[in-house]
């Protein structure tokens, strides 16, 4: 348990947490979900909520000793009794929504020991319309400086690599490890945002993508789609220079 908590504290530096010292997580049925305080996508509305799924039974913020990370139906900050709902259009193993004080918070899967491929962790096949990438990570109120992956063939290739990628147990990465911030824009206007550690070839969550994934991203960061190589997914598909509308 101490190892898991250490991982949570270390990974708190892996995203726009606005100065928090621990990830904002909830845990249900062995799956850990997280949310960022800053998110590029739209917020959830009442019409996005599906059936009630569960309720938070204990909060680390309310009971440091009695509610450690990893306890089922626990949360980092949400108080006990907070109602948790399914999100329409998405499986509960991928997304859950919490309603607290008339606000809706989106939590998305981080760790799932039953996931064998990236698509088991994040069910995003045929749901991504655009991808942004930037060096480092957003946060601290600073303006974002993303580069859009403009060629639809490259968007499709990146998503396919994520969905098919094998999984490993998520690892903590050092604060100074190089990382790219990846924003996947879903067709419903929401986003899935995760850091990508290029030297490890890993998306946060233990998703091990092939080297071509890094190559495509770095081609855009270096100058545009014409720099990206033709992968098996993009061969025979013309590249386009305009990005998907937000």
Tens of pLDDT, residue by residue over 36-64, are: 988 899 999 999 999 999 999 999 989 88
Whether pLDDT at 17 is above 70: no
Average pLDDT over residues 172-201: 95
Whether pLDDT at 95 is above 50: yes
Whether pLDDT at 111 is above 80: yes
Q: Which residues contact 121 (CB under 8 A, 6 or more apart)?
A: 94, 109, 112, 115, 167, 205, 206, 207
pLDDT at 201: 97
Whether pLDDT at 186 is above 60: yes
pTM for this model (two decimals): 0.84
Q: Report domain extents, the chain.
A: 1-114, 115-246
For the domain covering 1-114, report its CATH number.
2.170.150
């Amino acid at each position: 348990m101490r190892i898991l908590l250490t991982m949570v504290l270390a990974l708190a530096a892996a995203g726009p947490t606005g100065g928090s010292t621990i990830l904002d997580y909830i845990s249900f049925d062995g799956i850990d979900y997280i949310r960022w305080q800053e998110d590029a996508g739209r917020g959830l509305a009442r019409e996005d909520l599906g059936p009630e799924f569960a309720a938070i039974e204990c909060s680390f913020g309310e009971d440091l000793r009695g509610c450690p990370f990893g306890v089922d139906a626990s949360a980092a900050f949400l108080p006990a009794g907070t109602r948790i709902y399914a999100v329409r259009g998405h499986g509960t193993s991928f997304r859950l929504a919490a309603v607290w004080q008339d606000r809706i918070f989106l939590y998305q899967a981080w760790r799932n020991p039953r996931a064998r491929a990236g698509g088991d962790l994040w069910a995003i096949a045929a749901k991504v319309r655009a991808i942004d990438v930037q060096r480092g990570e957003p946060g601290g109120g600073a303006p974002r400086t993303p580069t859009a992956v403009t060629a639809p063939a490259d968007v499709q290739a990146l998503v396919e690599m994520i969905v098919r990628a094998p999984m490993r147990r998520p690892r903590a990465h050092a604060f100074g490890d190089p990382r790219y911030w990846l924003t996947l824009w879903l067709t419903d206007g929401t986003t899935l945002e995760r850091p990508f550690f290029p030297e490890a070839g890993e998306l946060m969550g233990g998703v091990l993508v092939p080297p071509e994934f890094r190559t495509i991203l770095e081609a855009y960061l270096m100058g545009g789609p014409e720099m990206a190589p033709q992968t098996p997914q993009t061969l025979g598909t013309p590249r386009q220079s305009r990005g998907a509308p937000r």
